[in-house]
Amino acid sequence: MAIPLIAKVQFACQALPIVAALTVRDRPRPVLYQRAIIWFCVLMLTDESAVVVGTLTGNNLWLGYLTLPLEVGLFLWMLSVLQPTEYLRTAYSLSVPVIGLVVIALLVLTDPAKTFDRYVAPGLALVTLSASLETLVLRSLESRAPLTQQDWFWLCLGLSLFWLSFVSITIFHQAFIGTHVDWVVTALIARAWVDIVAYSLMAWGLLQPWLRARSFGSS
C-alpha cells in the first residue's frame, strides 16, 4: 500500500522543530534545545525504521514495543528541564527508569500482541499528555512575562496536541479496526493534519529566542 502524501508531509514536518532549535546560536545551546533536538531526531528515526521494517518483513507492530517506551522516556527527560521546582525536575527524571521497568515487566508477563496497543500504548500516551498539560499549566501560572513570547508555552501546547492525537487514535483504532477500517483510515489522516499543526506550534516556540534577538537587533 502506497504511503499517502499527507503522511509524508507529517513525517517531514517533524524536522521543523529540529531546524528551529538549531537556529539558537548560544554556546552552549540551552539544555532544553539540546534534548528537544535529540527527541525529534529519535521520532524521525523510529518512524523511518517502522516503514523500513514493515517493507522488509511485512510486520512492524512489534517495533513499537521498543520505540514507544524510548520516545516516552526521552520525552520526560526533555520535559524535566521545564519543571518549575527542583522536586518536579527530580520526579520527572526518576519517572523515566520507573516507567521503563513497568513496561519491561508488562512485556515479559503479558502477551504484548494483545496488551500493548490496547493498554500499554494508551497508558504511556496518557502519562505524556498529562505531563505536557501539567507543565503548561504550572509554568503559565508562575509566568509574569507574556505567554506568547515564551518558548515553553508554544512547545508544551504543541506537545499536548501531539499526545492528545496519539491517545485518541490509539483508542479509536482499537475500537473500530475490526469493523470500520475506513473510519480508522480517516482518523489517521485527521491525526496527520493535527500533528502537522502540533509540529508547527513546537517549531514556533523554539524559534522564540531567535525572533526576540531579531526584534531587539532591529529596534
pTM: 0.91
**The three three-digit cell numbers of residue 199, written as one number:** 509540529
User: How many C-beta neighbours within 10 Å does residue 175 have?
Assistant: 12
Helix axes 151-176, 181-206, angle to 10 degrees: 170
Q: What is the C-alpha to C-alpha distance for residues 114 and 116, in angstroms, rounded to an integer? A: 6
Q: What is residue 47's DSSP assignment?
A: H
**The three three-digit cell numbers of residue 86, written as one number:** 527542583
Q: What tens digit of pLDDT does each residue of 62-81 get?
A: 888 999 999 999 999 999 99
Q: What tens digit of pLDDT does each residue of 140-188 get?
A: 999 888 899 899 999 999 999 999 999 888 888 777 777 888 888 888 8
| Cis amide linkage into residue 28, ω under 30° from 0 | yes
Is residue 218 over pLDDT 70?
A: no
Q: What is the C-alpha to C-alpha distance for residues 94 and 173, in angstroms, rounded to an integer? A: 31
Q: Where are the domains of the chain?
A: 7-208
Q: What is the C-alpha to C-alpha distance for residues 46 and 75, in angstroms, rounded to an integer? A: 14
**The three three-digit cell numbers of residue 129, written as one number:** 499528555
Longest dimension (CA), the chain: 62
